Chains A and B, each alone.
Chain A
Amino acid sequence: MRDISFGQYYPVNSFIHNLDARVKILVTLLFMVSVFFIVSYTAFAFMFLLLTLTIAVSRVPFRIVAKTIEGILFLLIFTALINIFFTSSGNVLVPIRMGGNVVLNITDQGINFAIKMAFRFTLLVLGSSLLTLTTTPTELTDALEFLLKPLKLIRIPVHDLAIIMSIALRFIPGLVEETDKIMMAQKARGASLDSGNLFKKIKAMLPVLIPLFVSAFRRADELADALDARCYNASSTRTKLKVFKIKPMDIFVFVGFAVVLTAILLDKYFVGKYVPSPDLGGFEVQGLDVLIYNFIRSVVEHGKV
């Protein structure tokens, strides 16, 4: 058995776990949208604080939530580097020369972008993994089915899609276990699965992949037979084992987050409009950061506010 903690449901009882799955999905969506509207470091700080509090309330250890970052670490660094090297606006900090000509500039604005983009990615991954960590796959698919119901009007088989998704999710741990077993069996026959170059590695994975596919098809066949044997029919209307019921807490959380989103939109569109941002030669100071910048400058320049 392998440790698969990437976004796997973490079974503890908490306020977050008990929230309605539909509300959690909606709030997560709002959260993702709001992350893209964050412009000021003040708002970032606020969002990180909010997320930290949510994680603390969810009683999922920080270690486990933080682990999900590992998966996108490469992407994170890559985009940060792109931003640092290919942003041309702002004040040049380090010019990179090649044969006497300046080919690239590292600017303060580039670093600014890079940091903000990294923050956005981190928030996105942490926030969405918190959803899967605190919601069982069954709840998740049920909630999705409910939220996608309007699509039935344009003849999209929402229920079938939900069943497909829950079966797929249900099969993941089984397939992981199966992979593990097969890998062990082939290792016991002297296979080395993790050495050599990429091409060799792919070839070395064949003894694992072929039995895995065979067994996946076998399982799918068996499951289809089992569904048929129980006269399963996706088209008929069926009742739910767990009926969703909105509690006051759900409404509170939803409204609370709507307020947060409004605040972030105000930060981006309103504060910037009425408080003139300082001219720093291409280096942008946005949102509430402007007020903080002005405050610090006045303290530094005049020794008083």
Chain B
Amino acid sequence: MPVTVNKLSFTYSAKTPYERKALNNINLQINEGDFLGIIGHTGSGKSTFIQHLNGLIKPQEGEIQIFDVKLTPDKRPKVNLRALRSQVGMVFQYPEYQLFADTVEKDVAFGPKNLGLSADEVSNRVRQAIEMVGLDYEAVKDRAPFELSGGQKRRVAIAGIIAMRPKMLILDEPTAGLDPFGKEQILNLIKYLKTHCSPTIVVISHDIDEITRFANRIVVFNDSRIVYDEPMQQLFKHSIQLQAMGLDIPRAVKIANALRDRGIDLGEDIVTAEDLMRAIAQRYNEKHSTQIDKEACVFDMYDFTHKWLTSEERAALEGKPVEPVEEEQPSGKLKHGKRKTQHVKKIKKSKRGKE
């Protein structure tokens, strides 16, 4: 089990008028392969919590077991924080503000270099990390990070973390301040990293519609405590309580709840837009005995935006040369076109199946 948190508490500026309790008796287990979403409004303690997971804050009370490292309030034994940080990658909010080197390559190399790896290994990892985040290594490696676009900077910053090959990746508001297209790219990148880089991922987000698209489990922080820790499909049974805490619920859940209030019950387990569409199609089919393909109704926002862009526009947005859509390669290169083709194929296949 990667992370076990036991009775963790933390207070900022203790014994001053600025004293503020940030964490109060937190107990949590994060399992291998979890795609954990953390929600909670500003000041609920979620950022403080994830800083503990990386050893950036020493626990004041309680203890944390992260992989083979144990963090306790005691001064001894001394913990090897660098070893911990190579296993847990942390992408802070607005990570592009931490870029400092004069070239993208040097910046991404900062993390692996600090791990004391050989020059060959460092440059290998840098190349792979830059490609993993969907940038063209040759085109960006010698450019200054400050002259890239906002979305590209953020991807470079994320590359700087994954170049350390963490077993667990923590991201704090990874899409904050990006346009819808940039958001889409980062979300797809996170999904991709889950399968190709770090099997365990923790994401903090304010956008509940975003988090429900990939999380399999959601933890809710409120007033420095964990109030809910549920599988994603189960969480929105507590819709009323969540809204009372000032938290948003997914639009699909809102629509399903509104329909239920008007006498149309589509079932309990609707969380994403896709769920809602399937349920509506199913309902429609049942009522009118038609055979609408449920899967064909489901569209992906990413595909949607892409349908309206020419390949040149797409290339301009992504800041890389136009490339033909390739079949999957074992090298682990991220091609945005790939997802699309797979998805389209899936839909086509299902259509053909129906015929």
The answer to whether the Cβ of B23 comes within 8 Å of any Cβ in the partner chain is no
Q: Mark A1-22, 1 if CB is under 8 A from B, else 0.
A: 1010100001110000000000
In the complex, what distance in Å separates the CA atom of A81 from the CA atom of B119? 50
In the complex, what distance in Å separates the CA atom of A192 from the CA atom of B161? 16
Tell me which of B16, B54, B115 contacts A188 (CB under 8 A): B54
B98 touches A186 (CB 8 A): yes
In the complex, what distance in Å separates the CA atom of A11 from the CA atom of B111? 41
Tell me which of B89, B97, B114, B164 contacts A211 (CB under 8 A): B97
B100 touches A1 (CB 8 A): no
Tell me which of A1, A186, A188, A206 contacts B13 (CB under 8 A): A1
Q: How far is the CB of B135 from chain A (nearest CB, A)?
A: 18
B98 touches A192 (CB 8 A): no
CB contacts under 8 Å to B, within A39-85, are 64
The answer to whether the Cβ of A157 comes within 8 Å of any Cβ in the partner chain is no
Q: How far is the CB of B318 from chain A (nearest CB, A)?
A: 25
Interface size on B, as a range, is 20 to 34
A191 touches B110 (CB 8 A): yes
Q: How far is the CB of B355 from chain A (nearest CB, A)?
A: 53
B100 touches A181 (CB 8 A): no
CB contacts under 8 Å to B, within A186-208, are 186-192, 206-208
CB-defined contacts of A185 to chain B, threshold 8 Å? 90, 92, 95, 97-98
In the complex, what distance in Å separates the CA atom of A188 from the CA atom of B111? 8
Given A3-B16, A5-B16, residue A207 in contact with residue B110 (CB < 8 A)? yes
CB-defined contacts of B51 to chain A, threshold 8 Å? 184
Q: How far is the CB of A1 from chain B (nearest CB, A)?
A: 6
CB-defined contacts of A5 to chain B, threshold 8 Å? 16
The answer to whether the Cβ of B270 comes within 8 Å of any Cβ in the partner chain is no
Residue from A10, A12, A185, A192 whose CB has the most chain B CB atoms within 10 Å: A185
CB-defined contacts of B284 to chain A, threshold 8 Å? none
The answer to whether the Cβ of A102 comes within 8 Å of any Cβ in the partner chain is no
In the complex, what distance in Å separates the CA atom of A34 from the CA atom of B297? 84
SS class, residues of chain A in contact with chain B: helix
Q: Mark B88-117, 1 if CB is under 8 A from A, else 0.
A: 011010010111110000000011001100
Of chain A, the residue at the smallest CB distance from B99 is A211
In the complex, what distance in Å separates the CA atom of A185 from the CA atom of B158? 11
CB-defined contacts of A191 to chain B, threshold 8 Å? 110, 114
CB-defined contacts of A12 to chain B, threshold 8 Å? 17
CB-defined contacts of B110 to chain A, threshold 8 Å? 186, 189-191, 207
A210 touches B54 (CB 8 A): no
A211 touches B17 (CB 8 A): no
The answer to whether the Cβ of B264 comes within 8 Å of any Cβ in the partner chain is no
Of chain A, the residue at the smallest CB distance from B92 is A185
The answer to whether the Cβ of A231 comes within 8 Å of any Cβ in the partner chain is no
In the complex, what distance in Å separates the CA atom of A192 from the CA atom of B100? 16
In the complex, what distance in Å separates the CA atom of A232 from the CA atom of B339? 51
CB contacts under 8 Å to A, within B1-40, are 12-13, 16-17
Could you name 28 residue pairs across A and B whose Cβ atoms are closer than 8 Å?
A1-B13, A3-B13, A3-B16, A5-B16, A11-B17, A12-B17, A181-B92, A182-B98, A185-B97, A186-B98, A188-B56, A188-B92, A189-B85, A189-B98, A189-B114, A189-B161, A190-B82, A190-B86, A190-B110, A190-B114, A207-B98, A207-B100, A207-B101, A207-B110, A208-B100, A211-B99, A211-B100, A215-B97
A sample of 10 more A-B contacts (CB under 8 A), given A3-B13, A208-B100, A214-B146, is A12-B17, A182-B98, A184-B51, A186-B98, A187-B81, A188-B85, A191-B114, A192-B82, A207-B100, A215-B97
